[in-house]
Structure 1
Amino acid sequence: MSCYPKVILFGDSQTQTSFSSHGNVNSWGASLSHKLSRKCDVMNRGFAGYNTHMAKQILPELITKDISCEVAVLVIFFGSNDAIFEECSPKQHVPIDDYKLNLKEMAQYLLTVSVLREKIILVTPPPIDDEKWEKECKAKGKPVDRKNSVNGDYSKACFAAAKDYGIDVLDLWTLMQKEKNWRTFLSDGVHLSPEGDQFLFKSIAEKIETRTDSTAMKYPYFRDIVSVSPHKREQFILDNQYIHPEDSKLNCSIL
Structure 2
Amino acid sequence: MFGWTHEGGWLSILASIFVRKIDIVGRGYSGYNTRLCKPLLPILYPNKDSLKDCKFFTIFLGANDACATPQQHVPVEEYKSNLSWMIEYIHKLDVPMDHISLISLPPIDENKWGAIEIAKGRAITRRLDTCATYAVACQEVANVNEVSFVNLYEAMLMQKNWESFLSDGLHFSRKGSEFLARILEDLLTDKLGDLKWWFPDWKVINPNDPAESISHYLQSQI
- The TM-score, its normalising length taken from structure 2, stands at 0.94
Q: Does 1:153 align with 2:136?
A: no
Contact kept? 1:123, 1:171, Cα under 8 Å: yes
Work out whether 1:58 is the aligned partner of 2:35: no
Q: Does residue 90 of structure 2 align to residue 110 of structure 1?
A: yes
- Per mean C-alpha deviation after superposition, the further-off stretch among 55-64 and 142-151 is 55-64
Cα deviations across residues 71-95 of structure 1 (Å, max 9, x unaligned)? 111111000110111xxx2121100
Is the aligned partner of 1:131 residue 2:87?
A: no
1:68 to 37, 40, 51: 51
1:235 aligns with 2:220: no
Cα offset for 1:243? 6.4
Question: Could you tell me whether the CA contact under 8 Å between 1:220 and 1:243 is conserved in 2?
Answer: no
Change (3 A) 1:221 1:147: same
Distance in 2 separating the partners of 1:121 and 1:141: 38
Map 1:23-62; keep pairs closer than 5 Å.
26-62=8-44
Check the 8 A contact 1:220/1:242 in 2, yes or no.
no
Corresponding residue SS for 1:152:
helix
Helix, strand or coil at the partner of 1:44 = coil
Matched ranges for 1:1-255 at <5 A: 16-22=1-7, 26-63=8-45, 64-85=47-68, 89-225=69-205, 228=206, 230=208, 232-241=209-218
Q: Which amino acid aligns with 1:79?
A: G
CA separation in 1, counterparts of 2:107 and 2:89? 28
Partner secondary structure for residue 176 of structure 2 = helix
Cα gap change, 1:156 to 1:62, in 2 (>3 Å): same
Partners of 1:20 and 1:149 in 2: CA distance: 28
Describe the SS at the equivalent of 2:105: coil
**Shift in Å, 1:66:** 0.8
Q: By percentage of residues, which structure has more helix?
A: 2
Answer yes or no: is the 8 Å Cα contact 1:217–1:243 preserved in 2: no
User: Aligned partners of 1:49, 1:243: CA distance in 2, in Å?
Assistant: 46
More strand by share: 1
Q: Which whole-Å CA distance do the structure 1 matches of 2:114 and 2:195 have between them? A: 45
Secondary structure, aligned partner of 2:25: strand
% identical equivalent positions: 31
Q: Measure how far apart 1:242 and its partner are.
A: 6.5
TM-score, structure 1 normalization: 0.82
Stretches of 4+ aligned residues off by more than 4 angstroms:
none
